[in-house]
Structure 1
Amino acid sequence: MTDVVSKDRNQGKNQLRVGRLVKAHGLKGALKLELYTDNPERRFTPGAEFTLQVPEASPWHGKTVVVREYRVMNGNPVVFLQDVDDRDAAETLVRAILWIDQDSDEVEDDAWFDHQLVGLDVVRDGLVVGKVARVEHFPAQDLLIVRSGDREILVPFVKAIVPTVDVSAGRVVVTPPPGLFEELPDTPEDADAESSGSDDSE
């Protein structure tokens, strides 16, 4: 499960991204889940309906799916969906992202709506280095798009890099790796390597 879960507003509705279908499991239509929720037993109850995020070319584009059953099998979360009865059907849903309608006052740990994050100050080592311009959602992880001066910086929205989100204080704290927010200067070793390369070529 990811360390930080993002929430999004889609067509005026508050929606929560709760999982991604990562792999067909067995022959009866089951799919392994990557969870983006701290409460899968509540989210994946029989009858729960999810909006699908899939490519436009997918036969599932614009459709929803309904849960038949949720299980943990060999330590892996697995979901069975209505009208997905065999492995071939399950394969057509691999990499689909599942969204569910979410009440704005319903809170999960480490979960925020996009609109709560946009506009927050981005603080590094006690200094404001930019503002959150938007949130981009990708299958592997979410990205905070940070406006810093005239640049946009793509910050992976994971706990190791964004350890603190304090909506009430209007800020997120970042601990980025070197080079994410600034150009790294050439090191003496780099200069020596370039020099050595020149000598070797002569």
Structure 2
Amino acid sequence: MQLVVARIGRAHGIKGEVTVEVRTDEPEIRLGPGAVLATEPASTGPLTIETGRVHSGRLLLRFEGVRDRTAAEALRNTLLIADVDPEELPEDPEEFYDHQLMDLDVVLADGTEIGRITEITHLPSQDLFIVERPDGTEVMIPFVEEIVSEIDLEEQRAVITPPPGLIDESEAVVVSSRDEESAAAGPGTDGSAPVERGEDD
């Protein structure tokens, strides 16, 4: 499975380094020296990471064969893509990759079917499951431990204990505009960044 793990930003200095916008919680694994990454556009890659370092809170990478500022600037906005084993799990048992959560059945504790997860939206404050109900409507479920009580990957289901009004037919929080949510979320994660179940404040 191929997942986006970073986007190349501006050139840094004159020796071929670039800043990168990291899109994985495991940069030491995905973006370490020696890693070979596919790219989007594909014609830019593959790129092999030669060195990496943190400068002023940002990750800087240098790729093999990229030796000057001009070559580094030519890579700007390129997406870096890693091959990830679809069976691979994050180290923290409370974290999940997006692709592991997609299409899970969402049910209540008593087994009542709510729908299935069709999208995961990453907001600054929390992550949301976009759940398609059997009637075609969609409802947003915050991925917090007070609401999502269990993720069972073997049974392919997420068990929820929603507060009153969250999924009630008459008061369902229906997604009316995906574009609006996407704009609020900003650049999304790629699925390689683990999603951690948060705590409701």
SS at match of 2:97: strand
Partner of 1:133: 118
Q: What fraction of aligned residue pairs are identical, expressed as a percent?
A: 30
- Normalised by the size of structure 2, how large is the TM-score? 0.56
Aligned residues: 153
Partner of 2:136: 150
* 1:118 matches 2:102: yes
After TM superposition, give the deviation of residue 145 of structure 1 in Å.
Answer: 5.8
Cα 1:132–1:71 shift into 2, 3 Å = same
More deviation, 160-169/36-45: 160-169
- Normalised by the size of structure 1, how large is the TM-score? 0.56
Distance 1:145 1:32 in 2: 32
SS at match of 2:115: strand
After TM superposition, give the deviation of residue 112 of structure 1 in Å.
Answer: 1.8
* 1:80 matches 2:65: no
Distance 2:102 2:71 in 1: 38
Partner of 1:162: 143
After TM superposition, give the deviation of residue 105 of structure 1 in Å.
Answer: 4.0
Mapping of residues 1-202 of structure 1, within 5 Å? 14-54=1-41, 59-60=43-44, 63-108=45-90, 109=92, 110-112=95-97, 114=99, 116-122=100-106, 129-133=114-118, 146-148=131-133, 149-151=135-137, 161-163=142-144, 166-168=151-153, 170-171=157-158, 181=174
Deviations 1:6-65 (CA, angstroms, capped at 9, x unpaired): xxxxxxxx23432222332222221112223333223323221001123x7xx52xx311
SS at match of 1:80: strand
Aligned 8 A contact 1:117 1:167 in 2: no
Counterpart residue identity of residue 117, structure 2: V
Cα 1:133–1:70 shift into 2, 3 Å = same
Which ranges of structure 2 fall in alignment gaps of 5 or more residues? 122-126, 177-201
